[in-house]
Every structure is written in structure tokens, then in C-alpha cells.
Amino acid sequence: MKLTIYFDGQFWIGIVEMTENNKLKVCKHTFGSEPKDSEILDFIFHDMIPLLNSTSGVKNSIDKRKNKTINPKRLIRLAAKEMKNQGVSNKSYEALRIELEQKKKMKKCITRQMKEELKEQKRQLKIQKRKAKHRGK
């Protein structure tokens, strides 16, 4: 699990990446103004896990080199490189984009069903009124 917090020019944004069962789960949280340590810890302990559980994962190809032990000096260099690196990886952005598209499709399908149900209700109401009028009530 990895939490990256960066400034995008207007807001401070946190991106959480987690790999679980060969799936990459990514979620985005906007902090607004520069977050204090207490706000970050509050997000980690209370909001992060439910946010990750609400997202569906995207298939991820696991890097086989990560299974080997890493030389401590190389590990320090990799950590420094991660700290210097601004923003998030392309895989994360791709996962966020796919998640957004899935939510759009789901919402579009639900709204279409609601419109059809409302249309059918109005039609049934018209039929009932017509029958009542025909009966003379």
C-alpha cells in the first residue's frame, strides 16, 4: 500500500495505491489546503480503507524482480528516487480513468432505468385516468 500526497497547483491531493490479488486498486482524495500530520493520520485510520473497498481493482502485471532480495544500498537509492518523484505512476492514472469510466457506465444505466420506470408510471396513470373517465367517475 502506498500513499502519495502532492500539490497539483490548486489543491493537495492524496493518491492511495494498493495491490491485492493481482489487482491494482487506486483511489484519489482531495485534502484542499496543505494537510497537517493529524489530518493525514485521520485520513489513513478512518477514511482510506472504506475508500479503497469502494473501488474495484484493475488487473496488474506483477513485476517478478520484486520477489528477490534487494541490496540495502539499492533499496536506499530506490527510496530516494521515490521521494524525489513527484505525482503518481501512469498505472495509477490508468486505473483511476478505468474506474471513472465504469462508474459513468453504471450511472448511465441506472438513470436510463429510472427514466423508463418513470415513463411507465406516467403511462399507467394516464391509462387509469382514461378508464375512470370512460366509466364516468
Q: Give the tens place of pLDDT for each residue, 83-95.
A: 777 666 677 777 7
34 or 95, higher pLDDT: 34
Name the least confident of 36-45, 75-84, 90-99, 118-127.
90-99
Compute the distance between CA of residue 129 and CA of residue 123 in angstroms, rounded to an integer.
Answer: 10
What is the pTM (predicted TM-score) of this model? 0.52
Q: What angle do CA 77, 82, 84 make, to 5 degrees?
A: 95
Longest dimension (CA), the chain: 92
**What pLDDT sits at residue 73?**
94
**What pLDDT sits at residue 106?**
92
Strand partners, 29: 14
Percent with pLDDT over 70 in the chain: 89
| E strand map for the chain | 2-7, 12-20, 23-32, 58-59
**What pLDDT sits at residue 85?**
73
61 or 105, higher pLDDT: 105
Across residues 16-34, what is the average pLDDT? 84
Query: How many Cβ atoms sit within 10 Å of the Cβ of residue 14?
Result: 22
Range of the domain at 20: 2-135
**What pLDDT sits at residue 52?**
82
Q: Into how many domains does the chain fold?
A: 1
Of 5, 18, 10, the closest CA to residue 52 belongs to 18
Compute the distance between CA of residue 85 and CA of residue 92 in angstroms, rounded to an integer.
Answer: 14
Compute the distance between CA of residue 26 and CA of residue 36 in angstroms, rounded to an integer.
Answer: 22
